[in-house]
Structure 1
Amino acid sequence: MKTRILLTVLLMFSFVVPLEAVGINRGGKGSKGGHASRQASKPKPSNKGHYRPQTRPASKPASRPSKPAARPAPKPSKPSARPATRPSAKPATRPSAKPSPKPSTRPAGKPATKPSTRPDKKPDKPDIGNRPDKPTTRPGKVPDKKPGKPDRPDIGDRPGRPDVGDRPSRPGFGGGNKVPEPPGKKPRPPRPEWDKPHKDKDHKYTKDTVNWMSNNRDTVNKFDRDRDRRWKDIDDHWRDRDWHKHWGDRDYRDWRRDMWHYRGDRCREVWYHNRHHHYHDHFFNVHWWGSCYWYPRPIVYHHCSPWWWWRPVVWGTMGYFFGQALSPDPIIYDPGTTVVYEGDTIYINGESAGNADEYRRETIALANPELEETPMPGPPELAEDASEEEIAAANDSEKPTGDWLPVGVWALTQQEQGDATMFLQLSIDKEGVVAGAYKNVMTGDEQPVAGQVDFKSQRVAWHVGEATQTVYETGLSNLENDVASVFVHFGESQTQTWLLVRMPSPEMPGETVKLPEVTDK
Structure 2
Amino acid sequence: MPSSGRGNLAGSIAGGVAGGVAGSAAADFLRDSGPRPETRPAERPGIAERPGIAERPGAGDRPFASSRPERIENRGDRQEIRQDRRDQIRDQIDDTPLRDFWSDHPLWGAWAITRPYRWAAWGGVTGWVDYGWTEPVSYNYGENVYYEDGSVYYGDEVVATEEEYAQQAEAIVASAPEVAPDQAEWMPLGVFALTPDGQESGPEPTLFLQLAISKQGIISGTLNNTANDTTQTIEGMVDKNSQRSAWNVEGKSRPIMETGIVNLTKDTAPALVHFADETTQQWLLVRLEDPEGQQE
Is this a same-fold pair by TM over 0.5? yes
Are 1:488 and 2:270 matched, yes or no?
Answer: no
Correspondence 1:23-38 to 2 at 5 A: none
Are 1:341 and 2:118 matched, yes or no?
Answer: no
Correspondence 1:164-313 to 2 at 5 A: 255-279=74-98, 282-284=100-102, 288=103, 291-292=104-105, 294-295=106-107, 306=114, 308-313=115-120
Shift in alpha-carbon separation, 1:370–1:456, aligned structure 2, 3 A: closer
State the 1:336 CA deviation: 2.6
2: distance between equivalents of 1:494 and 1:500? 19
Backbone CA RMSD of aligned residues: 2.9
1: distance between equivalents of 2:160 and 2:176? 26
1:22-42 CA-partner distances (Å, limit 9, x unpaired): xxxxxxxxxxxxxxxxxxxxx
Shift in alpha-carbon separation, 1:471–1:375, aligned structure 2, 3 A: farther
2: distance between equivalents of 1:509 and 1:405? 14
Correspondence 1:460-475 to 2 at 5 A: 460-475=245-260
Are 1:501 and 2:276 matched, yes or no?
Answer: no
SS in 2 for 1:310: coil
Higher relative contact order (CA 8 A, sep 6+): 2
State the 1:350 CA deviation: 2.5
In structure 1, the partner of 2:172 is: 366
Correspondence 1:417-456 to 2 at 5 A: 417-456=202-241
2:213 is aligned with what amino acid?
I
Spell out structure 1 runs of 4+ moving beyond 4 A.
Answer: 297-301
State the 1:492 CA deviation: 6.4
Q: Is the 8 A contact 1:375 1:450 kept in 2?
A: no
Q: Is the 8 A contact 1:470 1:489 kept in 2?
A: yes
In structure 2, the partner of 1:330 is: 136
2: distance between equivalents of 1:444 and 1:374? 26
1: distance between equivalents of 2:109 and 2:132? 34
Q: Is the 8 A contact 2:176 2:237 kept in 1?
A: no
2: distance between equivalents of 1:502 and 1:333? 17
In structure 1, the partner of 2:18 is: none
Shift in alpha-carbon separation, 1:474–1:354, aligned structure 2, 3 A: same
In structure 1, the partner of 2:44 is: none
2: distance between equivalents of 1:351 and 1:368? 27
In structure 2, the partner of 1:406 is: 188
SS in 1 for 2:205: coil
Pairs aligned (count): 226
Q: Is the 8 A contact 2:150 2:162 kept in 1?
A: yes
2:293 is aligned with what amino acid?
E
Shift in alpha-carbon separation, 1:404–1:351, aligned structure 2, 3 A: same
User: Which of residues 113, 121, 124 in structure 2 aligns to 1:314?
Assistant: 121
1:423 is aligned with what amino acid?
F
1: distance between equivalents of 2:216 and 2:109? 26
Identity %: 29
2: distance between equivalents of 1:436 and 1:376? 13
State the 1:298 CA deviation: 6.0
Structure 1: runs of 5+ lacking an equivalent: 1-234, 245-251, 378-401, 511-521
State the 1:508 CA deviation: 5.3
Q: Give the TM-score taking structure 2 as reference length.
A: 0.68
Q: Is the 8 A contact 2:243 2:260 kept in 1?
A: yes
State the 1:359 CA deviation: 1.3
Q: Is the 8 A contact 1:413 1:419 kept in 2?
A: no
2:189 is aligned with what amino acid?
V
Q: Is the 8 A contact 1:408 1:427 kept in 2?
A: yes
Shift in alpha-carbon separation, 1:459–1:479, aligned structure 2, 3 A: same
SS in 1 for 2:178: coil
SS in 1 for 2:286: strand
Q: Is the 8 A contact 1:374 1:448 kept in 2?
A: no
2: distance between equivalents of 1:446 and 1:328? 35
SS in 1 for 2:263: helix
Larger radius of gyration: 1
1: distance between equivalents of 2:151 and 2:111? 49
Moved more, 435-444 or 488-497: 488-497
Q: Is the 8 A contact 1:368 1:468 kept in 2?
A: no
1:74-104 CA-partner distances (Å, limit 9, x unpaired): xxxxxxxxxxxxxxxxxxxxxxxxxxxxxxx
1: distance between equivalents of 2:80 and 2:263? 15
State the 1:374 CA deviation: 6.2
SS in 1 for 2:254: strand
Q: Give the TM-score taking structure 1 as reference length.
A: 0.40
User: Which of residues 262, 287, 294 in structure 2 aligns to 1:477?
Assistant: 262
1:237-286 CA-partner distances (Å, limit 9, x unpaired): x86xxx58xxxxxxx5xx1121111101110010011123332x5222xx
State the 1:340 CA deviation: 1.0
1: distance between equivalents of 2:134 and 2:111? 35
Shift in alpha-carbon separation, 1:482–1:508, aligned structure 2, 3 A: farther
State the 1:484 CA deviation: 0.8
SS in 1 for 2:174: coil
State the 1:368 CA deviation: 2.8
2: distance between equivalents of 1:312 and 1:349? 29
1:213-251 CA-partner distances (Å, limit 9, x unpaired): xxxxxxxxxxxxxxxxxxxxxx7xx86xxx58xxxxxxx
